Protein backbone atom coordinates (compact mmCIF):
# COMPACT_ATOMS: atom_id res chain seq x y z
CA UNK A 1 0.00 0.00 0.00
CA UNK A 2 1.42 3.41 -0.91
CA UNK A 3 1.81 6.40 1.42
CA UNK A 4 -1.12 8.34 -0.08
CA UNK A 5 -3.52 5.45 0.55
CA UNK A 6 -2.28 5.06 4.13
CA UNK A 7 -2.69 8.77 4.74
CA UNK A 8 -6.23 8.76 3.40
CA UNK A 9 -7.09 5.74 5.56
CA UNK A 10 -5.63 7.48 8.62
CA UNK A 11 -7.66 10.63 7.91
CA UNK A 12 -10.87 8.63 7.46
CA UNK A 13 -10.18 6.71 10.68
CA UNK A 14 -9.46 9.95 12.56
CA UNK A 15 -12.68 11.57 11.38
CA UNK A 16 -14.68 8.55 12.47
CA UNK A 17 -12.84 8.36 15.79
CA UNK A 18 -13.35 12.10 16.43
CA UNK A 19 -17.06 11.84 15.73
CA UNK A 20 -17.41 8.81 18.00
CA UNK A 21 -15.10 9.68 20.91
CA UNK A 22 -14.70 13.46 20.59
CA UNK A 23 -12.64 15.23 23.24
CA UNK A 24 -12.39 12.14 25.44
CA UNK A 25 -10.73 10.35 22.51
CA UNK A 26 -8.07 13.03 22.04
CA UNK A 27 -7.42 13.01 25.79
CA UNK A 28 -6.94 9.22 25.90
CA UNK A 29 -4.81 9.11 22.74
CA UNK A 30 -2.47 11.71 24.21
CA UNK A 31 -2.18 9.95 27.56
CA UNK A 32 -1.29 6.71 25.78
CA UNK A 33 0.97 8.43 23.26
CA UNK A 34 2.96 10.19 25.97
CA UNK A 35 3.00 7.26 28.38
CA UNK A 36 4.85 5.03 25.95
CA UNK A 37 8.55 5.21 26.68
CA UNK A 38 10.73 5.45 23.56
CA UNK A 39 7.94 4.09 21.33
CA UNK A 40 6.39 6.77 19.12
CA UNK A 41 2.62 6.88 18.87
CA UNK A 42 1.19 9.31 16.26
CA UNK A 43 -0.59 11.51 18.81
CA UNK A 44 0.65 14.69 17.08
CA UNK A 45 -1.02 13.64 13.85
CA UNK A 46 -4.29 12.97 15.66
CA UNK A 47 -4.17 16.40 17.35
CA UNK A 48 -3.61 17.96 13.92
CA UNK A 49 -6.59 16.09 12.45
CA UNK A 50 -8.90 16.64 15.44
CA UNK A 51 -8.12 20.36 15.24
CA UNK A 52 -9.75 20.37 11.81
CA UNK A 53 -12.82 18.51 13.07
CA UNK A 54 -13.43 19.85 16.60
CA UNK A 55 -12.77 23.18 18.35
CA UNK A 56 -8.97 23.70 18.00
CA UNK A 57 -8.68 25.53 21.35
CA UNK A 58 -10.34 22.70 23.24
CA UNK A 59 -8.45 20.05 21.28
CA UNK A 60 -5.14 21.72 22.14
CA UNK A 61 -5.90 22.15 25.82
CA UNK A 62 -7.33 18.66 26.30
CA UNK A 63 -4.54 17.02 24.28
CA UNK A 64 -1.94 18.95 26.28
CA UNK A 65 -3.42 17.85 29.60
CA UNK A 66 -3.51 14.22 28.43
CA UNK A 67 0.07 14.41 27.17
CA UNK A 68 1.29 15.94 30.45
CA UNK A 69 -0.38 13.16 32.45
CA UNK A 70 1.16 10.54 30.16
CA UNK A 71 4.63 12.03 30.57
CA UNK A 72 4.53 11.20 34.27
CA UNK A 73 5.51 7.63 33.34
CA UNK A 74 9.02 8.81 32.44
CA UNK A 75 9.29 10.68 35.73
CA UNK A 76 8.16 7.60 37.69
CA UNK A 77 10.57 5.42 35.72
CA UNK A 78 13.37 7.83 36.63
CA UNK A 79 12.50 7.61 40.32
CA UNK A 80 12.28 3.83 40.17
CA UNK A 81 15.52 3.41 38.28
CA UNK A 82 17.45 6.13 40.03
CA UNK A 83 19.52 3.71 42.12
CA UNK A 84 20.74 1.82 39.07
CA UNK A 85 21.23 4.90 36.92
CA UNK A 86 23.01 6.85 39.65
CA UNK A 87 25.44 4.02 40.35
CA UNK A 88 26.52 3.92 36.71
CA UNK A 89 26.53 7.68 36.08
CA UNK A 90 26.72 9.27 39.52
CA UNK A 91 29.09 12.04 38.46
CA UNK A 92 26.88 13.03 35.50
CA UNK A 93 23.66 13.04 37.55
CA UNK A 94 25.28 15.01 40.36
CA UNK A 95 26.33 17.66 37.83
CA UNK A 96 22.83 17.70 36.30
CA UNK A 97 21.25 18.17 39.74
CA UNK A 98 23.65 21.00 40.67
CA UNK A 99 23.04 22.69 37.32
CA UNK A 100 19.25 22.45 37.74
CA UNK A 101 19.42 23.85 41.28
CA UNK A 102 21.65 26.73 40.21
CA UNK A 103 19.96 27.76 36.95
CA UNK A 104 16.49 26.30 37.23
CA UNK A 105 15.06 23.48 35.19
CA UNK A 106 11.51 24.84 34.85
CA UNK A 107 12.01 26.83 31.59
CA UNK A 108 14.08 23.99 30.09
CA UNK A 109 11.25 21.53 30.77
CA UNK A 110 8.73 23.88 29.15
CA UNK A 111 10.96 24.31 26.11
CA UNK A 112 11.48 20.58 25.60
CA UNK A 113 7.80 19.81 26.26
CA UNK A 114 6.78 22.35 23.60
CA UNK A 115 8.78 20.64 20.86
CA UNK A 116 8.05 17.46 18.92
CA UNK A 117 11.35 15.86 19.94
CA UNK A 118 11.22 12.78 22.19
CA UNK A 119 10.61 14.03 25.71
CA UNK A 120 11.00 10.79 27.69
CA UNK A 121 14.61 11.42 28.65
CA UNK A 122 13.65 14.72 30.32
CA UNK A 123 11.05 13.00 32.48
CA UNK A 124 13.47 10.22 33.40
CA UNK A 125 16.20 12.74 34.27
CA UNK A 126 13.79 14.76 36.43
CA UNK A 127 12.76 11.60 38.25
CA UNK A 128 16.36 10.51 38.83
CA UNK A 129 17.38 13.87 40.30
CA UNK A 130 14.07 14.02 42.21
CA UNK A 131 13.03 17.33 40.68
CA UNK A 132 9.84 18.59 42.34
CA UNK A 133 6.90 16.63 40.86
CA UNK A 134 4.51 19.60 40.92
CA UNK A 135 7.00 21.82 39.07
CA UNK A 136 7.74 19.05 36.58
CA UNK A 137 4.05 18.50 35.88
CA UNK A 138 3.26 22.22 35.58
CA UNK A 139 6.17 22.89 33.20
CA UNK A 140 5.27 19.81 31.14
CA UNK A 141 1.63 20.87 31.06
CA UNK A 142 2.48 24.37 29.81
CA UNK A 143 4.75 23.04 27.05
CA UNK A 144 2.37 20.28 25.95
CA UNK A 145 -0.63 22.63 25.84
CA UNK A 146 1.35 25.14 23.77
CA UNK A 147 2.44 22.61 21.15
CA UNK A 148 -0.97 20.94 21.09
CA UNK A 149 -2.76 24.24 20.48
CA UNK A 150 -0.33 25.06 17.67
CA UNK A 151 -0.89 21.63 16.09
CA UNK A 152 -4.67 21.83 16.44
CA UNK A 153 -4.81 25.26 14.79
CA UNK A 154 -2.42 24.07 12.08
CA UNK A 155 -4.87 21.26 11.35
CA UNK A 156 -7.79 23.68 11.38
CA UNK A 157 -6.18 25.97 8.81
CA UNK A 158 -4.42 23.46 6.59
CA UNK A 159 -6.55 20.31 6.45
CA UNK A 160 -8.07 21.38 3.12
CA UNK A 161 -4.54 21.55 1.66
CA UNK A 162 -3.69 18.10 3.04
CA UNK A 163 -6.86 16.64 1.58
CA UNK A 164 -6.22 18.26 -1.77
CA UNK A 165 -2.66 16.93 -1.82
CA UNK A 166 -3.93 13.37 -1.36
CA UNK A 167 -6.89 13.63 -3.71
CA UNK A 168 -9.54 14.44 -1.11
CA UNK A 169 -11.47 12.12 1.14
CA 24 to chain centre: 16
Residue-wise pLDDT for 41-79, tens only, equals: 778 888 998 998 899 999 999 999 999 999 999 999 988
Kindly state the average pLDDT of the residues 6-13.
73
* Rounded-to-integer distance, Cα 78 and Cα 133, Å: 12
List Cα–Cα distances, 79 to 8, 23, 125, 132, in angstroms: 41, 31, 9, 11
DSSP 130: T
In this prediction, residue 161 carries a pLDDT of: 75
User: Mean pLDDT lowest for which of 92-96, 124-128, 161-165?
Assistant: 161-165
* φ and ψ at residue 101, rounded to 5 degrees: -70, -35
Amino acid sequence: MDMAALTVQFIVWSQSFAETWGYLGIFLINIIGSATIFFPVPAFAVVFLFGAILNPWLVGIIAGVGAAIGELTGYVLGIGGSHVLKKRNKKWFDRAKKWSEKRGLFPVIILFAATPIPYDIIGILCGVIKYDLKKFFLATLIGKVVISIILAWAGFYSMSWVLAAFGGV
